[in-house]
Amino acid sequence: AGADGADSASDLPSIVERVDSQPAIRLDRGGKSFGDNSVFNNLNLAVRQGEVVSIIGPSGSGKTTLIRSLNGLETLDQGIVYLKEKPFIAGREEQLGRTLPKAKNEMLELGMVFQSFNLFPHKTVLGNVTLGPRYHNRGSVGEIRSSARAILSQVGMLAHENKYPHQLSGGQQQRVAIARALAMKPSVLLFDEPTSALDPETVGEVLRIMADLAKSGRTMIIVTHEMKFALEVSDRVIFMEGGKVIFDGSPNALREELLRDVRLADFVRL
């Protein structure tokens, strides 16, 4: 006992405790081109309930296109996205496309956090967080507001609830954007380079919130350039290059791979 090689540097509960075996979301044989530019082909990705997956790789390798394809912000040419093993997005060329019902409710299961925050500039912090639940009738005004306040408190932004986005730092805006995504109670959180547009001094506060979410058992897919974060917080790291998955494994497996693969090591450069 005690010598089972557990990663003592991490205070995450073990993956076995947190992660369910059923995929929360799965892309089957995804293909996407922009005109003549084939971004990826025959790409498979399955992320289990409770799993935290970081996608890293050089720019232009298709990471953002992939994550946007998972929630329909980009239209796939081929492939099917399953949510809890139910098909909910089909590529344009899939026969299934015609028979899939409009999956609006399923779409709401996916929370998205963008590089550029995308808050509504004319709404307060609280207004930004309550907008989605109000629009989708997720409860009474009072219930929605109190739930939004609880979430704002979780991301450390309750004191700013009456401010407008332009009165906040980038890091604060991004924490509100995370709160806004959480307010819809999504089953999967997608992050597209959430810290790339931030001043260096506010990156940490956003990463800390994301690490807390990861520890609480959230299913998360994160496109990021923050290697240290990816290695410390993820259950799995995927390295993409030229539309292909070059590496897919645990942070420890990646660390070992770095000793063998000079190119990968050069990219990750910790």
Neighbours of 134 (CB within 10 A): 17
The three-class DSSP label of residue 9 is coil
Nearer to ligand ADP, 61 or 202 (CB): 61
Nearer to ligand ADP, 34 or 120 (CB): 34
For residue 100, the minimal CB distance to ligand ADP (Å) is: 23
Q: Which amino acid would we find at residue 62?
A: G
Q: Which amino acid would we find at residue 264?
A: L
Structure tokens at 3: 């010598």
For residue 65, the minimal CB distance to ligand ADP (Å) is: 3
For residue 175, the minimal CB distance to ligand ADP (Å) is: 23
For residue 8, the minimal CB distance to ligand ADP (Å) is: 33
- Give CA–CA dist 104/135, Å, rounded: 13
Neighbours of 114 (CB within 10 A): 19
Neighbours of 107 (CB within 10 A): 16
For residue 133, the minimal CB distance to ligand ADP (Å) is: 30
Neighbours of 211 (CB within 10 A): 16
What does the DSSP 8-state code read for residue 1? -
Nearer to ligand ADP, 19 or 240 (CB): 240
Residues of this chain that bind ligand ADP (CB under 6 A): 34, 37, 39, 57, 59-65
- Give CA–CA dist 206/80, Å, rounded: 32
Nearer to ligand ADP, 65 or 71 (CB): 65
For residue 81, the minimal CB distance to ligand ADP (Å) is: 16
Query: Edge-to-edge strand order for the sheet containing 37-48?
Result: 37-48, 23-34, 78-83, 86-90
Give strand ranges (E) for 16-73. Answer: 23-34, 37-48, 52-56
- Give CA–CA dist 71/111, Å, rounded: 9
For residue 172, the minimal CB distance to ligand ADP (Å) is: 25
Nearer to ligand ADP, 111 or 243 (CB): 243
For residue 185, the minimal CB distance to ligand ADP (Å) is: 27
User: Would you say 35 and 72 are in contact if contact means Cβ atoms under 8 Å apart?
Assistant: no
Nearer to ligand ADP, 193 or 235 (CB): 193
The helix (run of H) or strand (run of E) holding residue 125 is helix 125-135
Nearer to ligand ADP, 59 or 137 (CB): 59
Nearer to ligand ADP, 13 or 60 (CB): 60
